[in-house]
Structure formats: structure tokens, C-alpha cells
Structure 1
Amino acid sequence: MTAIDPGVELPATAENPPQVDNLDALESEAIHIFREVAGEFDRPVILFSGGKDSTVLVHLAHKAFRPAPVPFPLLHVDTGHNFPEVLAFRDDLVARDDLRLVVASVQDYIDDGRLSERPDGTRNPLQTTPLLDAIGENRFDAVFGGGRRDEERARAKERIFSLRNAFGQWDPRRQRPELWNLYNGKHRPGEHVRVFPLSNWTELDIWRYIQREKIELPEIYYAHRREVFQRDGMWLTSGPWGGPRDGEVVEEKTVRYRTVGDGSCTGAVESEAYTVDDVIAEVAASRLTERGATRADDRISEAAMEDRKREGYF
């Protein structure tokens, strides 16, 4: 019998199946979901915030349909309180990749009286009405989101294909089984389906994929110097959303953002993670999800996210 050189890679056979790592499996699942939606629905759209998860979604959509262009537009619900770096990144990506962008503006709704500012100044909960109106006006029947099950309890309950009723509301009792990666996109006129290709990914998976694929992100995801003040255990930065309040001291610190959203409720974390490798090491050592650590709107109550999802939120 001839000895096998351990340094020689053998061809894949039934006895020696090809090795698929975790990122390959997650990527393959997400691409499969994108193609399923393209085959089942008439007018899909990708929710895009400029954050890491939605940027990974766009990257996966390119992979799913290349060399053809991404066949779906992007939809951004702009609170008017977004970080300037994120908006600049959004516009650069749309121009670079020749994508179509639909913007639903919370500020427009406030200006014409359809919505009112909240006493706490937070606009995240105000996104629901512009989102649902944009879905209805554009007749979007499938809406891709970057939600992951590891982020928050309510998101852990949601299926990959999540049926929403004619009012955009989520009912956990109407969740459908998804055995053997079979997805049921059937819906009545007026209803739509939220689709979550990243459901089975973790924050660490996202960052390892960003590293492997060399995906660009807004610079605020990496350590930088910024003036911040502390509120409810989080480092917030001042902006058009207001702050600091009386007694809140502004300090300059080295921070980064683990998630991006409305500036009034999205906190930074102290960090020396200047590169993707640094971030991966930091996330691997963390015991808090990014939403639990840096999103004030999720701290209102234990069911805060689930309550918003029932109303039609992301």
C-alpha cells in the first residue's frame, strides 16, 4: 500500500467529501434565500441602513445574481438623525454599485404633521409608519432585512420568511414551519413577507465574513476619537437629536460603534479596535449582543422589540 503524503490535498470523492466551513455554509444559505425570493415574488426590496448587516446583504445579493445587476432596489428609512458618515457611505455605495435607492423620510412626516416628535427625542419608533407607507406605495411584496436571531429575543422567534398582515404587523402565531430549507412565501393581497437571510449568522460570523470578503463599512465601526457623554450606561454623541442634558459631561474618548441607527439612542463603546482583526478579537470576547450593549430603545422594556415588531417595525 502506498503511503499518502499528508501535505497533498486529495480530490473530493464520496469517501473524501469536500470540506465546507461555517462561513461557506452561511453564505450558501443566504444566496439560496435571495434566489428563492427572486423566483417567488414580484417586487422585492432590500432594507438598507448603511450598517454592517445590510451592507453584507447587498454583498450577498451581488453574489447571488452576478454577472447580472442586483434586481432589487434598496429602501432606507431615514430618521433625520443618522450619523453623517453612514449617510455618506450609503450614497457612495449606491453610486458605485449602480443601485436604485428609495428613501422614506421620518422628517417629512414630522414636517407635515403625520408624526410628532417623542418627548425623549428618539425617532427609532417613528420609522414604522414611513416604512409601511413605502412598502404599500411601491407594492413591495418581499422585504429583505438584516435581522439576526442572536441580536434579541423577539428576533430569535422569527422565521426566515416572516409573514406580515395587511397592516404590516407580525403575529408569532402565524409563523410557518421551515423544514428542510423549504420556504413558504404565500400571502394574500396587501400582505407582504419579511425575509431574513442572515437569521442564522452571529455578530462574529458577520465580522469574519467582512474580513474574508474585504467588505467596506462606515468608519464609525472602527475606533476613532469622538466627543461623547454618558447616559444610562452608554456613550452618546451630540447632534441634531439633542444632548447633552444638564449634568451630562462631554468627554473625548476613543470609541467605536457596534451598530448604527438613530443617533439619539445608539451608543458607542470604548474600544481600541482599529482594524477588522481587532474588532473580531473584541467581539469574540464580548458577552453582550450589540443591541443589548448599545441600543437604548431596546431597554425600554423586556418586550420592547417584540411590541414594535407587532406594530410593523423591522
Structure 2
Amino acid sequence: MTSTTSIPAPSAPTGGTAPAPALTQLDVLESEAVHIFREVAGELERPVLLFSGGKDSIVMLHLARKAFWPAPVPFPVMHVDTGHNFPEVIAYRDDVVARLRLRLVVASVQDAIDEGRVRELPGGSRNPLQTVPLLDAITAHRFDAVFGGGRRDEEKARAKERVFSLRDAHGQWDPRRQRPELWDLYNGRHSPGEHVRVFPLSNWTELDVWRYIEREQIGLPPIYYAHERDVFSRDGMWLTAGDWGGPRPDEAVARRTVRYRTVGDMSCTGAVDSTARTVADVILEVAASRLTERGATRADDRASEAAMEDRKREGYF
């Protein structure tokens, strides 16, 4: 099982006069993402990269390191912390930040609750509460570009996004205000108070992400691989017991072999039964799946047909 947090240094270009090999699909996707990172760094003044310790943000950070190698990543990373995160993921986040000497900005949902900025509903997920602390942090640090790991294959509202997605002065998303994106030409212009959400992984699929993790030998938190865990069933998903409000008295806890396809707030992120203990095993499992990772394991996306789009219009990623 791969559980190391090592993120290898980007490889240097090869020399010589031999003809260049044909680009693979992963080469093309990597090149596009590196170009996007460099475009933002050259066009905008205060970018930040959302880094939760989830697989997409880990791949995004790896690509950012490649984009600016051998210089360090020229912007901070930010985590919107619900307070109900998986301990393995927080440990991974902190290890990477310390080892790579990154500047971490934490936008805390708990702080927003304590300050009366948001109200927590009994038994509800904190995932929708991330919008206010996210927008507060963007305003406080004057970030004008925010890198996110959203992919178009995850969910239909995310499929509508441009790579450069304009947000208004209130951090809100209006699909009618988005600009055309022809070829690899991106428009980051915005008015004072507005900002741009940037999605370098837009054209990647879940399978592309895992194949890239395999190729680049990127370590992940261990919960992405099959392990034994105490879980209980709610709304057709295996949730982890915790102080967030589960299980209820009528929900029996069972020991099962599971893994996580996506990582978010513990209250709304379900595990899947799995025996995939290596990257190769996960690739085979994902290739055979007919459900997207969010559709299979995220309760917050099941609230309504337009749940994600409603949250995005309010400022969520």
C-alpha cells in the first residue's frame, strides 16, 4: 500500500539530438497544466493554490512544482478546513507543507461558526459552510487567482466551467459572464474586487489522475487505498464514525475493507468497498467503474439535481 507523503522532484529535460518521442495523453495534459500555471503567474499578481491533501490538489501541487522548477512554487497554498477532516489527510497536508517549505493559509469553518459568520445545522454537513471562510480568506489576502482541482468529468456543473472562471466582487459565479476560451488563450482580466478561479485539471479524468500518480510515483494519504475501517451505513454510503455527529443510535458500526475515491468532510464523504491496495489496483478499479467519484461517494451532491451549481453560484468551488 502506498502511504508515503513523498513528492518527487520534477525531472529535468533530457539532452542529446535523438528525435523526441511521441507525446502521450498524460504528456499533453501535463503540458497544458504547466502552461496554465505559468500563464497565471505571468498575468495575475496574488495567486493561491487550494491544497486539502486530497489527490487532485496533490497532483496540482506536483504540476505547480514542475511549472516553476528549479525555483520554488511562487505562491502560497490554502486549505478551507471544515474541522471534520480525516486525520490521515491533515497529517499528510502538514507534512508536505513543512517539507516543501510552503506558506499555508488555513480558512477555518469552525472560526466562522464561532464568530457567527455561518450557522451550523444540527446533524448537517459542514461542507456547504466552506464558502464564507473561503471568500473571507480571498478578500483578506487579496488573492486575485485561486487554483482549484475541479475536473469536468466529476459533475455536470463543473463541466460548465472555463479553465479561467471569473468570479464577481461577491465571489459568485455567473455562467453567462464566462469568456470564450479558444485553444490555449486565457483571459484573466477582472475588475477590482473580482477574482479568477483557475482549474489546471479541467480536462483530466479520474483515470488520468491515477495514471499520472502512477507515472510520477506521487505518494498519497493511505485512505485512498484499501484498509480496514469502522464504518456505518447512511443514505447508501459507508461513513466513518466521528465527533461530527455519527453514528446515530440506530446505525450499526461494522469493520469493513474500504477505500476513499475522494476526500472531503467526514460527514458527507463515503468510502467504497475495495481490495485495491496499490496504485495499479486502483487504476483497474476506476477503469471498470461506471459512477463518477462524487456521484458514488459525496452526499452533498445528492441534495438536489443542481446542488453543486447552487453552491458554485454562491462562491463554492
Q: What residue identity is the alignment partner of 1:215?
A: I
Identity of aligned residues (%): 78
Looking at structure 1, the residues matched to 87 and 44 of structure 2 have their Cα atoms a distance apart, in angstroms, of 34
Structure 1 residue 101 and structure 2 residue 104: aligned? Answer: yes
* Per-residue deviation, 1:245: 1.3
Structure 1 residue 23 and structure 2 residue 26: aligned? Answer: yes
Q: Match for residue 248 of structure 1?
A: 251
Query: What TM-score does the superposition give when structure 1 sets the normalisation length?
Result: 0.94
Give 2:229's match in structure 1, choosing from 226, 230, 237: 226
SS at match of 1:181: coil
Looking at structure 2, the residues matched to 189 and 114 of structure 1 have their Cα atoms a distance apart, in angstroms, of 24
* Per-residue deviation, 1:81: 0.3
Looking at structure 2, the residues matched to 279 and 180 of structure 1 have their Cα atoms a distance apart, in angstroms, of 32
Q: Match for residue 118 of structure 2?
A: 115
Of the structure 1 ranges 227-236 and 108-117, higher mean CA displacement relative to structure 2 is found in: 108-117
Larger radius of gyration: 1
* Per-residue deviation, 1:112: 2.2
* Per-residue deviation, 1:11: 4.6
Query: Counterparts in 2 of 1:1-314, with a 5 A limit?
Result: 11-12=18-19, 18-314=21-317
Looking at structure 2, the residues matched to 128 and 248 of structure 1 have their Cα atoms a distance apart, in angstroms, of 30
CA deviation vs aligned residue, 1:183-217 (integer Å, no higher than 9, x gap): 00000000000000000000000000000000011
CA deviation vs aligned residue, 1:24-60 (integer Å, no higher than 9, x gap): 0000000000000000000000011110000001000
Looking at structure 2, the residues matched to 121 and 172 of structure 1 have their Cα atoms a distance apart, in angstroms, of 28
* Per-residue deviation, 1:246: 2.8
Q: What residue identity is the alignment partner of 1:140?
A: F
Q: What residue identity is the alignment partner of 1:148?
A: R
SS at match of 2:79: strand
SS at match of 2:188: coil
* Per-residue deviation, 1:18: 4.1
Q: What residue identity is the alignment partner of 1:152?
A: E
Q: Is the 8 A contact 2:117 2:132 kept in 1?
A: no
Looking at structure 2, the residues matched to 213 and 19 of structure 1 have their Cα atoms a distance apart, in angstroms, of 18
Q: What residue identity is the alignment partner of 2:103?
A: R
SS at match of 1:82: coil
Q: What residue identity is the alignment partner of 2:221?
A: P
CA deviation vs aligned residue, 1:70-116 (integer Å, no higher than 9, x gap): 00100100000000000000000001111000001111111222222
Report the RMSD for the aligned CA atoms in angstroms.
Answer: 1.0
Query: What TM-score does the superposition give when structure 2 sets the normalisation length?
Result: 0.93
Q: What residue identity is the alignment partner of 2:154?
A: E
SS at match of 2:111: helix
Q: What residue identity is the alignment partner of 2:249?
A: D
Q: How many correspondences in the alignment? A: 301
Q: Match for residue 4 of structure 1?
A: none
* Per-residue deviation, 1:118: 1.6
Q: Give ranges in structure 1 of 5+ residues lacking alignment.
A: 1-9
